[in-house]
Structure 1
Amino acid sequence: MSVVSVFSGAFCRADEFIDHLRGETGYRLIDDEMIVTRARELSALPEETLKRVFSARTSVFNPFTRERERAQIWLKLAVAEYFQEAGLLLHGVTSHLIPVSIPHVLRVCLIADAAHRIAAAAAQLGIEAAKAAERIQELDHDRAAWVQAVHSASDPWDATLYDILLPAHKLEPPAAAALVRRHLAAKAVQVSNRTRRAAGDFLTAARIQAALAAEGHFIGVSVEADAAVLTIDRPVLMQERLEEELTAIVRGAAEVARVEVRVKPAAKAAAAYSRHDATRMSRVLLVDDEREFVQTLSERLGMRDIGSATAFDGESALELLREEEPEVMLLDLRMPGIDGMEVLKRVKADHPEIEVVILTGHGTDVDRKKCMELGAFAYLEKPVDIDVLSETLKKANEKMRANRRRQTGKEA
C-alpha cells in the first residue's frame, strides 16, 4: 500500500479532511505528536526541545548547542521508523521529512485562500479579523521556516513540493478525501521492490545520521547502492583521520557495503569542519551595557570553548529569559533602567537553577554581601583576568548541571 503525506495550513479544516481520508482509505494516521513522542523515546531529548524545532524562532544559543539540528535528526529517524509500515497517513509538518526520492508517497497539501482562513480563525478563536490575520501570519511563518530548513524552499505552499494541492475553500472535506483516494490508484505511487529498497535506505540513512550526531558530527547522509554517502559542506583538515572516525561510527550503526565521504567545495572564508563537543559550556548569557566590552568578552570566551549570547541591559536580559534557557549569567551591576541587583533578585526568584556571576567595575563591599545573600555564585570586579573569569564560569556551570542531574534523578 502507498503512503499519503499531508501538509496543511492552519484553519483549513484539516481535521475534517483527515477524518474523511481515513474513512476512504483505512490508513493508519501518524501525526506530529506521535513523531515527537517516538523521537523523545529514541533520543531522550525533552519534548519541548523537539517541538521547538517547529518554530521559526531559533535559540540564540543554537550555534553552540546545535539543539535544533539534533532535534530534526531524531524526528527524521522517528518518521523513518514509522515509514517502514504500509498504509500510512502522515499528517503534519514532519511529513516533509520523507525524502522526495521515495516514489510510493502521494504528497498532499491542503490550503485555503486568505479570506476563508481569516474567517475560520476569527470564528474559532473568537477574535477580530485583524487579529486572526496576525495569528495566521505567525503560523505560516513557522511553516515557511520549517520548509526552508528541510527543502531550502521559501514558499511552503509551492506546488512543486506536492503531487496534489487541494484548495480547501473550494472543496468540501469529503470531496477532497475522495479525490486523494482516486489518485492513490495511480501507477506512479504504487509500491514495488525498488520503492521498498528506497524506504529501507531512508531508515538506514536516518540511523547513521543519528549515530553521527550523537558523536558530534552534523553532516548530510544518504544511502546509495548499499553505500553510505556522507556529505560535508566545509573545508576539512586531516581528512584521512576524519574519514576513519566517521567510518567507524557508520559501521557501528548500520550494515553498508562501503562508506564514502564527499567534501563539497566551500567558500574560502568558511571555517574548517570540526566535531561538535556537546559537553562544552554553551549557554552563558552576558549582561552588560558596555556593548564593545561585552562583545569582545564574548569573542574571547568563544576562543576558550565557552559559547555565549549577549544582552545590553537588564530589561533585555529578563525578556530573553522568557524564551531562552541559559545555564549561567554573567551580570554587571550598574546599568540604566533595571540594574543588575534587581535582575539578580528576579532571576533567582523565577529561575533559581541559573547560576549568576557578578562582574562589575563599580561595586562595594555592601554590594558584594548583598549579591551573595541573593544567591550569586561569585562576585568579581573589573578588570578581571580572562582565565580567572573562564574558570569561575566553568565552575558555575558545573554546579548548575550537577543540580539539574540531581533534580532529574528525583523526578525519575
Structure 2
Amino acid sequence: MTSLTIFSGDFCRGSSVVKEVLDRTGLKLVTDQDLVARAATLSDLGSDRLERAFSPRTSVFDRFTHEKGRAIASLRLALAELVSAESGLLLAGYLGHLVPREITHVMKVCLIADLKFRVQTAMDEQGLSEKAATRLLAELDEERRHWVKSLHLGDDPWAAELYDMVIPMATTGVPEAATLIGEYLGKEAVAPDRASRQAVADFKLAAQVAMVLAREGHEVEAAARGGVVTLIVHKHVLLFNRLAEELREIVGPIPGVSEVLVEVGKEFHRADIYRKHDFDIPSKVLLVDDEREFVKTLSERLILRDMGSAVAYDGQSALEIIAADDPEVLVLDLKMPGIDGIEVLRRVKKLRPGVEVIILTGHGTEEDRKVCMELGAFAYLQKPVDIDLLIAKLREAHNRVRQSRRSS
C-alpha cells in the first residue's frame, strides 16, 4: 500500500489538509513527535536533544560532539525501520524529507502558498500586524531552509524536485487539495513495485550504517544500493585515506554490506576540519572568565588535546548559554564584573543541577572555597593552574556526568 508525506509551509492550512486526507484514506498518521519518541529508544540522546535536529540553532559544542548529526542518524533509522515494517502511513512534518526519492511508493506532497496569502492568513489567525506576520514567516521559513540544508537537499524547502506534487494553497481549497492527493495516491506510478521495495531495504541498511558510525563518533552520510554502501564525507579531512580505511573497517562487517566506497561531498573543501568524536573525552566544557586572553588560550590548549570547549566572558553570557545549550562541565572564575562566579554557581545548580562546576580563580579566599563547595562545586582550583591537573579534573567531572546520565 502506498504511503504519503505532507510537508506544509506555515499558514498554508496544512493541518486541515492532513486531517481531511486521514478522514478520506484511513492512512496511519506519524508526526515528527512520534518519530522522536521512536528514535529515543535507539539513541543515547534524549527526546529534547533529538528535537533540536529540526531547529536551525546549533549547539556551540556541535563541532566536537556531532550531536545534530547523531540525532538525524537516529531519526533516519527510526523512520527506515517504520517504513520497512508498515505501509499506508501519512508522514506529516519534517520527517518526510528523510525518505529517499528512490522509494517511489512513498508519495511526497508539499503544500505552499505565496507570501502575500500566508501573511494575510497569519494576520487573520493570530491577530498580527503585517510587519510582525512577515517577520514571523521569515523566521519559520529559515527553520525549514536549515532543515533541508542539513540533509544536503539544497536550501529551498519548497523546491519542486523534492516532491511528487506541489499544491498552491492560495488557489486550492482544503477539500480540493485532499481530492488531488487521493487521486494521485491511486495511480500506478506510486504503487509499490520491486525497485521501490528494494529502495526501502537500501534505506534501512544505509540508516543502520550511519547509526553504527555515529555511535563510533563519526559524522558521515551513508547511501546503499544492493549491498554496496557509499560513505560521503562533507568536511575537509587532513588524512583522507586513513579515515577511509577506518570507515571501511567499521562498516564492512555490518550484515548486508558487500562493499564500502568512500567519497567526498560537495562541501568537502569548506573551512572546518573533520573531527571524530571521542565519547570518553570532555567535549562540552564552558569556560567562563573575563580575562579574555587567558580564557582564549586555555580553550585553545584544551582543543589541542581534543577536548571541546566554548568561551563566555561574563556571568550573564554564561547563564544564557547554559539556558539555551547543554554544557556538561563549567570552568568558572569567581571575580567578574556584573554577576560574579559564586552567583553563577548558585544559579547553575538551580537551573541545571547536572552540570559539574570547577572553580578556577586567582583571587578566592578560604571562605570562598567553603561557600563554593557547599553550593555544589565539583572542584576548587587556584590560578595559575597546572594544565594536567585541570584536565584530570575535567575528565573526572565528565565521567560523573556520564555515570549520572546512565543511571537516570
State the TM-score, normalizing by the size of structure 2: 0.90
Equivalent pairs counted in the alignment come to 405
How far did 1:177 drift? 1.1
Inter-partner Cα distance in structure 2 for 1:215 and 1:393 = 22
Task: Specify the alignment match of 1:392 in structure 2.
Answer: 393
- In 2 relative to 1, CA 232–372 (structure 1 residues): closer, same or farther, beyond 3 Å? same
Distance in 2 of aligned mates of 1:268 and 1:117 = 36
The residue type paired with residue 368 of structure 1 is R
Deviates more, 1:156-165 or 1:381-390: 156-165
With over 3 angstroms needed to count, the CA separation of the structure-2 counterparts of 1:349 and 1:185, relative to structure 1, is closer
Q: Secondary structure at the match of 1:165?
A: strand
Aligned to 1:18: 18
Deviation sequence 1:4-42 (CA, Å, 0-9, x none): 221111222112101222234333222212211211122
Q: Distance in 1 between matches of 2:209 and 2:243?
A: 19
Please give the secondary structure, in 2, of the residue aligned with 1:282.
coil
Match of 1:279 in 2: 280
Q: How far off is 1:106 after superposition? A: 2.6
TM-superposed CA distance for 1:220, in Å, is 2.2
Partner of 1:327: 328
Compute the displacement of 1:158 (Å).
Answer: 2.2
Q: Deviations over 1:357-377 (max 9, x none)?
A: 121223333333332333322
What is the 5 A alignment of 1:147-296?
Answer: 147-233=148-234, 234-235=236-237, 237=239, 239=241, 243=245, 245-262=246-263, 266-267=268-269, 271=273, 275-296=276-297
Number of the residue aligned with 1:55: 55
- The whole-number CA distance in structure 1 between the counterparts of 2:142 and 2:338 is 33
Q: Which amino acid aligns with 1:60?
A: V
**Within the alignment, does 1:375 sit opposite 2:388 as a pair?**
no
- Which moved further from structure 2: 195-204 or 125-134? 125-134
Partner of 1:401, secondary structure, is helix
1:201 is displaced (CA, Å) by 0.9
Any idea what the Cα deviations from partners look like across 1:194-233, whole Å, max 9, x if unmatched? 1111121111111121122122222222112431222334
Unpaired stretches in structure 1, ≥5 consecutive residues: none
Which residue number corresponds to residue 96 of structure 2?
95
Q: Is 1:32 aligned to 2:51, yes or no?
A: no
For the residues of structure 1 that align with 2:41 and 2:70, how far apart are their CA atoms?
A: 14
Letter in structure 2 aligned against 1:112: A
Q: Secondary structure at the match of 1:301?
A: helix
Distance 1:66 1:167 in 2: 37
Conserved? CA contact 1:4–1:89, under 8 Å: yes
Partner of 1:83: 83
* Alignment match, 2:346: 345
Q: Deviations over 1:109-141 (max 9, x none)?
A: 112333433343344445555444433333222
Letter in 2 for 1:206: A
- Contact kept, 8 Å, 2:288 with 2:318, in 1: the verdict is yes
Q: SS at the partner of 2:151?
A: helix
1:358 alignment partner in structure 2: 359
The one-letter code of the counterpart of 1:37 is A
SS across alignment from 2:36? helix
Moved more, 187-196 or 279-288: 187-196
Corresponding residue for residue 6 of structure 2: 6
In the superposition, the TM-score normalised over structure 1's length comes to 0.89
Q: Tell whether the 8 Å contact from 2:252 to 2:258 is kept in structure 1 after alignment.
A: no
Contact persistence 1:288–1:313 (CA under 8 A): yes
Identical amino acids, percent of aligned pairs: 47
- CA 136–343 in structure 1, closer or farther in 2 if over 3 Å, else same: same
Whether the aligned pair in 2 keeps the contact of 1:236 and 1:263 (CA below 8 Å) is: no
Whole-angstrom CA distance in 2 between matches of 1:333 and 1:223: 53
Aligned AA (2:56)? A
1:207–1:254 CA contact under 8 A, matched in 2: no
Give, as a single letter, the amino acid of the residue that structure 2 aligns with 1:54: F
Q: Which residue of 2 aligns with 1:116?
A: 117
SS at match of 1:299: helix
Partner-residue secondary structure (3-state), 1:359 = strand
User: What do residues 254-307 of structure 1 show as CA deviations (whole Å, max 9, x unaligned)?
Assistant: 323333334569549764x55421222111110111222211111101122321
Contact 2:284 2:328 survives alignment (8 Å): yes
Give the counterpart letter for 1:25 in structure 2: T
Corresponding residue number in structure 1 for 2:71: 71
Q: Are 2:287 and 2:331, in contact at CA under 8 Å, matched by a contact in 1?
A: yes
SS of residue paired to 1:60:
coil
Q: Structure 1: which amino acid aligns with 2:356?
A: E
Partner secondary structure for residue 54 of structure 2: coil
Task: State which drifts further: 115-124 or 99-108.
Answer: 115-124
Distance 1:82 1:197 in 2: 15
Aligned residue identity for 1:203 = K
C-alpha contact (below 8 Å) 1:6/1:108 kept by paired residues: yes
- Within 2, Cα distance between the matches of 1:18 and 1:403? 41
Query: Which residue identity is paired with 2:11?
Result: F
User: CA separation of 1:136/1:262 partners in 2, compared to 1, >3 Å: closer, same or farther?
Assistant: closer
Alpha-carbon deviations, 1:218-250, whole Å to 9, x = none? 22221124312223344464847853x544543
Equivalent-residue separation in structure 1 for 2:347 and 2:270 (angstroms):
46
Q: 1:120 to 1:255 in 2, by over 3 A?
A: same
Partner of 1:43: helix, strand, or coil? coil
Change (3 A) 1:219 1:127: same
Q: Is 1:311 the equivalent of 2:315?
A: no
Unpaired stretches in structure 2, ≥5 consecutive residues = none
Q: Which amino acid aligns with 1:154?
A: D
Return closer, same or farther for 1:180/1:255 CA change in 2, 3 Å cut-off: same
SS in 2 for 1:22: helix
